[in-house]
Amino acid sequence: MRIKQISRGFLKGLQVTGIHLFRRPVTHPYPEQRAYTPPRFRGIHRLIVEDCVVCRACERVCPVNCLTISGVRGDNRRFILEQFDIDYSLCMFCDLCVEACPPHCLVMGPEFEIAAENRHSLRRSLLSQPKEEMV
């Protein structure tokens, strides 16, 4: 009786394997083929430095305090952004900072790869972004 149950389970497993053996794979080969990200995906932040007025609204609204922003007043009495850092070890990608930004200079990009060797290297400056990455 026990052998009958085992053989029935084994045959059922072979049947399921046979059904799925010649189907197209569901997963994608990740490094070679980029993962699909929907249009409103919340990925790594992007900053348009020229539009930032250093109002710090995004820093104040952040529930986990992962943003560090500082600036100085320039010759024409306009604030100049000196520091804009995000600690991705704390960030929960809630999008509240983007919604609070009055000049809309902070946006969420489609990138999501932020792997690091240690926790301290997850603190990134948005001022050092290459020009082609910025929106």
Residue 82's φ and ψ, nearest 5 degrees, are -105, -35
Task: Report which secondary-structure segment, H or E, holds 92.
Answer: none
Q: Indicate the annotated binding residues for [4Fe-4S] cluster.
A: 52, 55, 58, 62, 91, 94, 97, 101
For 1-51, the DSSP string reads -HHHHHHHHHHHHHHHHHHHHTSPPSS--TTTSPPP--TT---SEEE-GGG
Rounded Cα distance, 84 and 16, in Å:
53
Q: Indicate the annotated binding residues.
A: 52, 55, 58, 62, 91, 94, 97, 101
Per DSSP, 110 falls in state: S
Kindly tell me the sign of the dihedral angle through the C-alpha atoms of 35, 37, 43, 48. positive
- Asked if residues 97 and 45 have their Cβ atoms less than 8 Å apart, the reply is yes
